[in-house]
A and B are shown apart, each in its own frame.
Chain A
């Protein structure tokens, strides 16, 4: 693996976040994410899950504290170096954030195109990925004509298509039936086995039991607790990354 060598992919130290002059929505958040692990972030609605993920996917700077990511200080990182870091991430936004005028296919292809992948290397992996999330026959549909669950699956396909180093998913199964939820978790697990660190925010407690060896972080009114010892060092490690060929669309992904 070409991951960060020093055994951590993300490190938060005493991070606090407030929007404007409001109260802090995150306080004293400290944790370390280890490469190749599978994390659940849980907590009540309004606990600050999305806020914490925004810090993770570099859409927000904290009000205080220190964040290290991919071996660099994410807070003092110059703005023009951020895109390169963002390209190492896959993000499923809670509100999907699909580009409204692009088809499902083009939305999924977006990260590859942003990264400058040649057009000839795009059609197949994107097609396979849409097939995997069950949207092969909807690939030309605009987001507005897709159901909530279908949009969510497009968002997930877009997040994983580039085989990111870290996947950050905000309520990725909130709009799909339990069966599809399990199937999507399998996709995350497959990606995880390829070495991607996965962080899934959810308040669906049933989901937490579905991934063996997953680590759980709990947010409570902006403060982090640690029911599975995910934040301890050394952590309970998840499954070791396998390097064998993998079923599913990821083996065909271009990156």
Chain B
């Protein structure tokens, strides 16, 4: 008789090929995988909106926060010119300053024209300040601005120094609250997604309660049975997750194209980097993980009620 060794051998090899046959592999059957797909898509879209907003804010802030504007307010055009040149030279020598640019008169004229009218600028009747655009290698902190003022004081007593981000502060605040909204949405959707996955797993197991009991009575171990169901439900969730990811990717790419064609600088900078896409791809992975863990816990719990 050879059956005892054979049994012992079989006992060790519990993850046989045939395990997949223990439960039905009804992939993408019923509404649950589709619900998972939709939830995954919505979660990814909300998350991508949040990420794009973050990217746009960060890149705009980097541009603006590293800059300051110096206005030389001086009624006498010659004196103004002299002060501007001196300031320019002095600022170039300053440590931490990466670039200095005297805004050309034509640009300044264009800026004030809407308020003063084209004719007013022909004469020097109205003194328009000279503008110098200063870029730092780091954000323009109040201390830096103060240092700038200190340096310019002796050269150009009429200089006024402003951080460029100042006037954009309300915009940043608005974008920050939009980001919070996106985070809250993602959190809510993630909870709903987890609930959907949970229901799907429970549902699939409920339909197979008899099978679980039969395999249990035929000597299936808890781990073996849990593994079979975990795998089958993981496959279902993965199907839903992939569909959801594709759906979301299409939406994001189409929207991205649309925004890019607006040519608005701020929006362009919201483009998602590869790290962002990686993060988004984690959403379906998380869904699969939740599904498998739920399946495992549910199966083990129902098995523990049996002897």
On chain B, the residues within 8 Å of A61 by CB distance are: 307
- Indicate if B15 sits at the interface (CB-CB under 8 A): yes
- Indicate if A5 sits at the interface (CB-CB under 8 A): no
Could you tell me the distance between the alpha carbons of A79 and B11 in the complex, rounded to whole angstroms? Answer: 16
On chain B, the residues within 8 Å of A99 by CB distance are: 22, 210-211, 214-215
> Does the CB pair A58–B307 fall under 8 Å?
yes
Q: Which of B1-42 contact A (CB under 8 A)?
A: 1-4, 6-7, 9-19, 21-24
- Indicate if A57 sits at the interface (CB-CB under 8 A): yes
On chain A, the residues within 8 Å of B1 by CB distance are: 1-2, 194-195
Could you tell me the distance between the alpha carbons of A118 and B18 in the complex, rounded to whole angstroms? Answer: 8
**Segment from A25-33, A44-52, A100-108 that makes contact with B:** A100-108
Known A2-B1, A97-B210, A106-B21: A114·B219 in contact at CB below 8 Å: yes
**Segment from A9-17, A81-89, A211-219 that makes contact with B:** A81-89
On chain A, the residues within 8 Å of B4 by CB distance are: 2
Could you tell me the distance between the alpha carbons of A94 and B16 in the complex, rounded to whole angstroms? Answer: 29
- Indicate if B71 sits at the interface (CB-CB under 8 A): no
On chain B, the residues within 8 Å of A88 by CB distance are: 7
Could you tell me the distance between the alpha carbons of A58 and B216 in the complex, rounded to whole angstroms? Answer: 10
Known A87-B7, A88-B7: A113·B219 in contact at CB below 8 Å: no
Partner of A116, one of B2, B10, B210, B213: B10
- Indicate if A255 sits at the interface (CB-CB under 8 A): yes
Q: Which of B208-243 contact A (CB under 8 A)?
A: 210-211, 213-215, 217-222, 224
Known A91-B217, A99-B214: A163·B14 in contact at CB below 8 Å: no
Q: How far is the CB of A113 from chain B (nearest CB, A)?
A: 3
Partner of A117, one of B2, B16, B217, B222: B16
Partner of B6, one of A98, A119, A255: A255
On chain B, the residues within 8 Å of A184 by CB distance are: none
> Does the CB pair A115–B217 fall under 8 Å?
no
Could you tell me the distance between the alpha carbons of A117 and B13 in the complex, rounded to whole angstroms? Answer: 8
> Does the CB pair A116–B219 fall under 8 Å?
no
On chain B, the residues within 8 Å of A112 by CB distance are: 10, 18
On chain B, the residues within 8 Å of A162 by CB distance are: 3, 7
Q: How far is the CB of B15 from chain A (nearest CB, A)?
A: 7
> Does the CB pair B16–A100 fall under 8 Å?
no
Partner of B18, one of A91, A93, A119: A119
Could you tell me the distance between the alpha carbons of A83 and B216 in the complex, rounded to whole angstroms? Answer: 8
- Indicate if A242 sits at the interface (CB-CB under 8 A): no
Could you tell me the distance between the alpha carbons of A172 and B121 in the complex, rounded to whole angstroms? Answer: 109
On chain B, the residues within 8 Å of A106 by CB distance are: 21
On chain B, the residues within 8 Å of A87 by CB distance are: 7, 10-11, 218-219
Write the residues of chain B forming the contact surface with A, with a CB cutoff of 8 angstroms: 1-4, 6-7, 9-19, 21-24, 210-211, 213-215, 217-222, 224, 304, 306-307
A sample of 19 cross-chain residue pairs with beta-carbon separation below 8 angstroms, ordered by A number, consists of: A2-B1, A58-B307, A60-B307, A79-B307, A83-B220, A86-B218, A91-B218, A93-B217, A101-B24, A110-B214, A111-B218, A111-B219, A116-B16, A118-B16, A119-B16, A162-B7, A194-B1, A254-B6, A255-B10
Which 4 residue pairs of A and B lie closest in terms of their CB atoms, listed nearest first? Answer: A113-B18, A87-B219, A115-B10, A116-B13
